[in-house]
Amino acid sequence: MAEKRKDSKGRVLRKGEHERKDGRYHYLYLDASGKRCYVYAKDLISLREMEKEIERDLLYGISNASGKTTLNQLFKMHMELKNDLRATTREDYNRMWRNIVEASAIGCKKISEIKQVHVKAFYTDCVRAGLKRNTIKLIHNLIFSSFELAVDSDFIRKNPAKGAMEGIKKDAVKKIPLSGNEIKKLMDFCIDSSIYSIHVPFFIIAIGTCLRCRELTGLTWSDIDMKNRTISINHQLIYKNLGDGCKFHINKPKTDAGERILPMTESVYL
């Protein structure tokens, strides 16, 4: 019977465990693809904790290579597989990622190393940087869905972004619409102004319809039905880089509900 291997402290070493000359330990194993892999630890206890993680990964079919994928690489993969996005939505997502996540520590971190505490810490940093909760929620949706892809693809066992938004307080500032008196003051000022009087029809339609800026600036005469006193909302004007530089583009609303017919108020009609 072969003699059992022991470390310098007399502890029996398991298959794949080795004590190095510098006092550290390493573990040799074969990943899901059959490739030889090594992990290192300062002591045997830490090494065996790592072994448990490796055993669970192998049980779930998670390879060592997939765990080396960074969050930025995962997001890019997620976007490439999303073929149901409008070009404008895709550009919005990519721009938001570039501006907020890409250069951050979590963006460059391997997904196998990211825990919920790291995601929460990132969101806290976003709050400190002055980002609103709604913006952080949009980023969270991108991060969460990217990790869901990793879970479904057996890159990782669970989604570290799950529950990470808890504790991020809602924005306290409420949007307060203009009162009737404030609207009158605004319109009186514009009418009497040599600079802004040319924009009075624009303001009348904006106030009378409550259209989004993109919808309002995209209106054409073909959208106006004076006979039936209605305005057709079926497109919007956007200024984006869709791969050909920043230009104005006519784009359909994001959802079917965005296409609608609005009745003209008396002020808008006149």
Query: Are 264 and 231 in contact, with CB atoms under 8 Å apart?
Result: yes
3-class SS of residue 234:
coil
Q: What is the reported pTM?
A: 0.64
* CB atoms near residue 265 (< 10 Å): 14
Segment holding 201, helix H or strand E? helix 200-209
- What are the boundaries of each domain within the chain? 17-61, 71-152, 180-269
Among 74, 72, 25, smallest CA distance to 51 is for 25
Please give the CATH number for the structural domain made up of 180-269.
Answer: 1.10.443.10
Query: Are 139 and 96 in contact, with CB atoms under 8 Å apart?
Result: yes
Segment holding 31, helix H or strand E? none
The pLDDT tens digits along the chain (270 residues) read 567 899 999 999 999 999 999 999 999 988 766 778 888 999 999 999 988 888 876 765 555 656 678 999 999 999 999 888 888 889 999 999 999 999 999 999 999 899 999 999 999 999 999 999 999 999 999 999 999 999 988 888 899 999 999 988 877 677 888 999 999 999 999 999 999 999 999 999 999 999 999 999 999 999 999 999 999 999 999 888 877 788 888 888 878 888 999 999 898 887
**Distances in whole angstroms, Cα of residue 138 to Cα of each of 100, 127, 134:** 11, 13, 6
